[in-house]
């Protein structure tokens, strides 16, 4: 028999019950906001054809070059990949569903993404994103609405102060083509000392050199020609509308002419929310922007759109830090409304039936199997953060009643007895009071 537990795959984590309560709160807050802005959920497969990502994310991007979980399904001899992000799949699904004929469509998604990055705090190989995509219009108010939605989400989660918004304008494809030529000329003489990836970038997508990790390239990039100098009036007017609307809605932002996103499909407005305090290398919590030409690279139809993706691990850990620092740390979510402790072995059937009656009335019951000393059961109940303890022993069974003990600080030490037929309504009254 194996003597050790087979470990999880490097960079892939379990999210244990002690943490899922906070995850659910964060997700519920986001889902409620998505609904308030008219977004409906979409679910796309975890596995797609490899060429979908290769073409759409950009062949010279890190995600495609180094981080893709690509494999051949030998049963069908198909080249497939685990999704590294969900915008491209979402666009594929919306186009297949005829979204190009449907006016504006707003959808949100949530789930696991896979990138073979070097794992460290805040950077994983399986991580989770939630995101929104709005397609069918090139109106700048669409991305403005998404930015305001995000600002609201940060406020509702109590982390508004901790994040800052940065914007840039990536212009249209003609501006990017002119800029690309200027960059190629600018970097050309230095490329002989570079690694293969950076050289390939110079060739295929020199814009990506602006966020290259090679320090020598970073120094050069600081003085490289700016895309801003190539933008035409339409592109400037588009992003100006976003900026004006953000000012009108009191959303603070900075502009960074060197902000390029890690994926190739963006144009015009791009934005990123990062930690306001410096000092963390994994400091991006959310990124997004417009991708008006993405649809045409997937199929025959044009479909303007914009969207964002936020990293759930980073968001949850930010919420946890904020709660700890403000001493309002959210207690872990309780496992149930009440814990049912059985004291004597002859009461199992009685207790089991009582638990079912409560559940039928909509009350969550954690039924501790096996009779154990009350002290032990109280400890377990507290560890599960359950506020009410139901006690059933021989005397309760004889009198057809249940003892209820309060365990949370405001109810500590309280005790009452409820007749079995009244139990659900007594519990409901107690639960509504807390």
Are 305 and 290 within 8 A, CB to CB?
Answer: yes
105-124: which residues touch ligand AMP (CB under 6 A)? Answer: 115, 117, 122-124
Selected binder of ligand AMP within 171, 311, 387, 393 (CB under 6 A): 311
Tell me, by CB under 6 A, how many residues bind ligand AMP. Answer: 19
| Stretch touching ligand AMP by CB under 6 A, among 44-52, 201-209, 283-291, 421-429 | 283-291
Rounded to the nearest whole angstrom, what is the least distance from the CB of residue 376 to ligand AMP in the complex? 40
| Stretch touching ligand AMP by CB under 6 A, among 94-102, 140-148, 232-240, 279-287 | 279-287
211 lines the binding site for ligand AMP (CB under 6 A): no
Rounded to the nearest whole angstrom, what is the least distance from the CB of residue 76 to ligand AMP in the complex? 28
Q: Which of 12, 335 has the CB closer to ligand AMP? A: 12
Give the 3-state DSSP-derived string for 393-433, with helices as H, strands as E and coil as C.
Answer: CHHHHHHCEEEEEECCHHHCCCEEEEEHHHHHHHHHHHHHH
264 lines the binding site for ligand AMP (CB under 6 A): no
Selected binder of ligand AMP within 42, 309, 365, 404 (CB under 6 A): 309
172 lines the binding site for ligand AMP (CB under 6 A): no
For 310, other C-beta atoms within 10 Å of its C-beta total 23
For 27, other C-beta atoms within 10 Å of its C-beta total 17
Calculate ∠ Cα 5-8-12, nearest 5°: 165
Q: Which two tokens stand for residue 344?
A: 């004597």
Crossing angle of helices 140-156 and 17-36, rounded to 10°: 140
287 lines the binding site for ligand AMP (CB under 6 A): yes
Cα–Cα distance between 171 and 96 in angstroms, integer? 28
Phi, psi of 272 (to 5 degrees): -150, 140
Q: What does the chain come to in residues?
A: 434
Selected binder of ligand AMP within 140, 262, 289, 334 (CB under 6 A): 262
Rg (CA), the chain: 27
Crossing angle of helices 423-433 and 348-360, rounded to 10°: 60
Rounded to the nearest whole angstrom, what is the least distance from the CB of residue 117 to ligand AMP in the complex? 5
The two beta strands, 254-255 and 163-169, are parallel
Cα–Cα distance between 260 and 61 in angstroms, integer? 12
289 lines the binding site for ligand AMP (CB under 6 A): no
Rounded to the nearest whole angstrom, what is the least distance from the CB of residue 275 to ligand AMP in the complex? 10
Q: Which of 63, 381 has the CB closer to ligand AMP? A: 63
- 3-class DSSP assignment, residue 138: coil
In the complex, residue closest to ligand AMP by CB: 311
CA 92 to chain CA centroid, Å, is 21
127 lines the binding site for ligand AMP (CB under 6 A): yes
Rounded to the nearest whole angstrom, what is the least distance from the CB of residue 86 to ligand AMP in the complex? 9
Are 254 and 276 within 8 A, CB to CB?
Answer: no
Are 387 and 337 within 8 A, CB to CB?
Answer: yes
| Stretch touching ligand AMP by CB under 6 A, among 48-56, 98-106, 311-319, 324-332 | 311-319
Of residues 285, 260, 254, the one with CA closest to residue 162: 285
284 lines the binding site for ligand AMP (CB under 6 A): yes
| Stretch touching ligand AMP by CB under 6 A, among 44-52, 139-147, 280-288, 381-389 | 280-288
Residues 6+ apart with CB under 8 A from 105: 94, 99, 134, 135, 136
Q: Which of 57, 392 has the CB closer to ligand AMP? A: 57
Selected binder of ligand AMP within 48, 313, 337, 396 (CB under 6 A): 313
Selected binder of ligand AMP within 48, 62, 85, 292 (CB under 6 A): 85
Rounded to the nearest whole angstrom, what is the least distance from the CB of residue 124 to ligand AMP in the complex? 4
Using CB under 6 A, list all residues that contact ligand AMP: 85, 115, 117, 122-124, 127, 129, 261-262, 284-287, 309-311, 313-314
């Amino acid at each position: 028999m194996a003597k050790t537990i087979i470990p999880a795959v490097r960079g892939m984590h379990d999210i244990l019950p002690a943490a899922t309560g906070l995850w659910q709160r964060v997700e519920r807050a986001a889902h409620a906001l998505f609904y308030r802005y008219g977004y409906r959920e979409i679910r796309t497969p975890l596995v797609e054809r490899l060429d979908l990502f290769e073409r759409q994310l950009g062949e010279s991007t890190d995600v495609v070059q180094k981080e893709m979980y690509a494999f051949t399904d030998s049963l069908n001899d198909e080249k497939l990949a685990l999704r590294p992000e969900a915008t491209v799949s979402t666009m594929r699904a919306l186009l297949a569903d005829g979204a190009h004929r449907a006016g504006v469509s707003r959808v949100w998604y949530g789930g696991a993404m896979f990138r073979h990055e070097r794992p460290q705090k805040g950077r994983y190989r399986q991580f989770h994103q939630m995101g929104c995509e709005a397609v069918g219009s090139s109106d700048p108010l669409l991305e403005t609405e998404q930015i305001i939605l995000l600002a609201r989400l940060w406020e509702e989660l109590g982390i508004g102060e901790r994040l800052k918004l940065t914007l840039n304008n990536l212009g249209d494809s003609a501006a990017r083509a002119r800029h690309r030529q200027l960059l190629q000329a600018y970097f050309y003489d230095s490329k002989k000392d570079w690694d293969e990836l950076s050289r390939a970038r110079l060739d295929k997508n020199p814009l990506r050199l602006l966020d290259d990790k090679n320090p020598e390239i970073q120094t050069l990039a600081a003085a490289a020609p700016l895309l801003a100098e190539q933008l035409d009036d339409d592109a400037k007017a588009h992003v100006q509308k976003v900026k004006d609307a953000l000012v009108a809605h009191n959303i603070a932002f900075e502009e960074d002419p060197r902000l390029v996103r890690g994926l190739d499909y963006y144009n015009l407005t791009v934005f990123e929310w990062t930690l306001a305090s410096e000092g963390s290398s994994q400091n991006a919590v959310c990124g997004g922007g417009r991708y008006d030409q993405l649809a045409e690279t997937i199929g025959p139809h044009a479909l303007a759109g914009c969207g964002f993706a936020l990293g759930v691990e980073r968001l949850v850990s930010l919420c946890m830090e904020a709660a700890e620092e403000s001493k309002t740390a959210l207690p872990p979510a309780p496992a149930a409304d009440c814990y049912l402790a059985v004291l004597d072995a002859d009461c199992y059937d009685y207790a089991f039936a009582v638990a079912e009656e409560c559940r039928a009335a909509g009350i969550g019951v954690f039924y501790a199997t096996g009779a154990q000393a009350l002290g032990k059961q109280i400890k377990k109940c507290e560890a599960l953060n359950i506020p009410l303890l139901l006690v059933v022993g021989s005397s309760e069974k004889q009198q057809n009643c249940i003892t209820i003990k309060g365990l949370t600080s405001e109810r500590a030490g309280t005790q009452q007895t409820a007749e079995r037929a009244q139990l659900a309504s007594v519990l409901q009254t107690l639960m509504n009071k807390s």
